[in-house]
Amino acid sequence: MRKAELVAAVAATTGLGRTQAGHVLNIVLDEIMFALERGETVSLPGFGSFSRRHRAGRTGRNPQTGEEMQIAAGYAVVFRPGKQLKDAVVQD
């Protein structure tokens, strides 16, 4: 599912117009991003949680030349699915 399809689904479910539904979706995504920038965890019960994790600097290799290079420390976004999401997606 792409963003346009998600907007269409939200519009159909809520009765909002596509433009309004797209605006609401953009606001939700922006707020998640801003919270992660501030170092906060975003928890959506049943769905999952987004958090920011620090990654230490390390030595890597350039795959084309084989030359060693330093990879800078930084942050990565981590998503941990909630129980309801796992139960809906993972089937025995």
57: CATH: 4.10.520.10
pLDDT value of position 90: 84
Domain hosting residue 66, numbered range: 41-92
- Asked if 53 and 16 sit in the same domain, the reply is no
User: Do 8 and 46 belong together in one domain?
Assistant: no
Is the domain of 11 the same as that of 49? no
Q: Helices 18-37 and 3-14, interaxial angle, to 10°?
A: 120
48-68: pLDDT as tens digits? 999 999 999 999 999 999 999
- 46 and 79 inside one domain: yes
pTM exceeding 0.95: no
Q: What is the predicted pLDDT for the residue at 41?
A: 97
User: Do 50 and 24 have their domain in common?
Assistant: no
Residues 14 and 26 in one domain: yes
Task: Say how far apart CA 34 and CA 55 lie, in whole Å.
Answer: 20
